[in-house]
Chain A
Amino acid sequence: DAKTTQPTSMDCAEGRAANLPCNHSTISGNEYVYWYRQIHSQGPQYIIHGLKNNETNEMASLIITEDRKSSTLILPHATLRDTAVYYCISEGETGANNLFFGTGTRLTVIP
């Protein structure tokens, strides 16, 4: 299974775009990249996922490099409620829907 690498923490000013990077240099051609976030002690929440193309939904945008070795999650206008741990995840080798979570990036949105 492909491993992902993320910065431990980041800060972002309220109202500005938050850009969270992720390296997944060992990802295989058919493995999706998923992003989840965990607010305080709640269960993780799905944000977005992608394979090759850039993706956008009501929560965020996902930019995947052409070589698929890295991606960036973009929260266009960060709010205080976006303060959370963000996980960049690739699919596990056991298949099914097993996802392997790392320690993620702790994003703090500053007023």
Chain B
Amino acid sequence: NAGVTQTPKFQVLKTGQSMTLQCAQDMNHEYMSWYRQDPGMGLRLIHYSVGAGITDQGEVPNGYNVSRSTTEDFPLRLLSAAPSQTSVYFCASSYLREEEKLFFGSGTQLSVL
């Protein structure tokens, strides 16, 4: 049981480049989400999904796109990377119930030069 798997672990981009951060879970969780964490700060919600075909914006969605074509995968796309997107990105998943704990991936450290 792998849990929540994020790839890559590290990535360096130039301003304007695009890339996709991958997130996969093998627990059949309905809910998946993306957070970013900047130095000295807590996690901020970017986008989330409550099931295949359903996505919605979180607190800081600008500059990011998501899609949920399968239950297992929830990729995060940066269409034109900016230095302000330098951060650590965490993917999380859980069952969609009244009270449920989130399982987090190990994170992707992204630097945009």
Residues of A within 8 A of B (CB): 32, 34, 36, 41-46, 49, 51, 87, 92, 94, 96-104
A97 touches B33 (CB 8 A): yes
Report which of B88, B102, B105, B106 forms a contact with A99, defined as CB distance below 8 A. Answer: B102
A96 touches B43 (CB 8 A): no
Chain B contact-residue range equals 20 to 34
Give the residue name and chain of the A residue nearest to B44 (CB). A101
Using Cβ atoms and an 8 Å threshold, which residues of chain A touch B50? 96
Report which of B33, B48, B92, B106 forms a contact with A42, defined as CB distance below 8 A. Answer: B106
Compute how far the CA of A51 lies from the CA of B99 in the bound complex, rounded to whole angstroms. 10
Q: Using a CB-CB cutoff of 8 Å, which residues 84-107 of chain B contact chain A?
A: 88, 90, 92, 94, 96, 99-107
B40 touches A44 (CB 8 A): no
Compute how far the CA of A43 lies from the CA of B9 in the bound complex, rounded to whole angstroms. 12
Tell yes or no: B42 within 8 A of A by CB.
yes
Tell yes or no: B75 within 8 A of A by CB.
no
Compute how far the CA of A32 lies from the CA of B100 in the bound complex, rounded to whole angstroms. 10
Q: Knowing A96-B96, A97-B96, A101-B35 are in contact, say whether A43-B42 is a contact too (CB < 8 A).
A: no
Compute how far the CA of A32 lies from the CA of B90 in the bound complex, rounded to whole angstroms. 22
Using Cβ atoms and an 8 Å threshold, which residues of chain A touch B42? 87, 101-104
Interface of A is mostly: loop
Compute how far the CA of A87 lies from the CA of B100 in the bound complex, rounded to whole angstroms. 16
Subset of 18 A-B contacts with CB under 8 Å: A42-B106, A42-B107, A43-B92, A44-B43, A44-B90, A44-B92, A44-B104, A49-B99, A92-B45, A97-B31, A97-B33, A97-B48, A97-B96, A98-B45, A99-B45, A100-B45, A101-B43, A101-B44
Using Cβ atoms and an 8 Å threshold, which residues of chain A touch B105? 43
Report which of B45, B48, B99, B104 forms a contact with A45, defined as CB distance below 8 A. Answer: B104
Compute how far the CA of A99 lies from the CA of B106 in the bound complex, rounded to whole angstroms. 18
Using Cβ atoms and an 8 Å threshold, which residues of chain A touch B31? 96-97
Using Cβ atoms and an 8 Å threshold, which residues of chain B touch A97? 31, 33, 48, 94, 96, 100, 102
Report which of A34, A41, A49, A96 forms a contact with B88, defined as CB distance below 8 A. Answer: A41
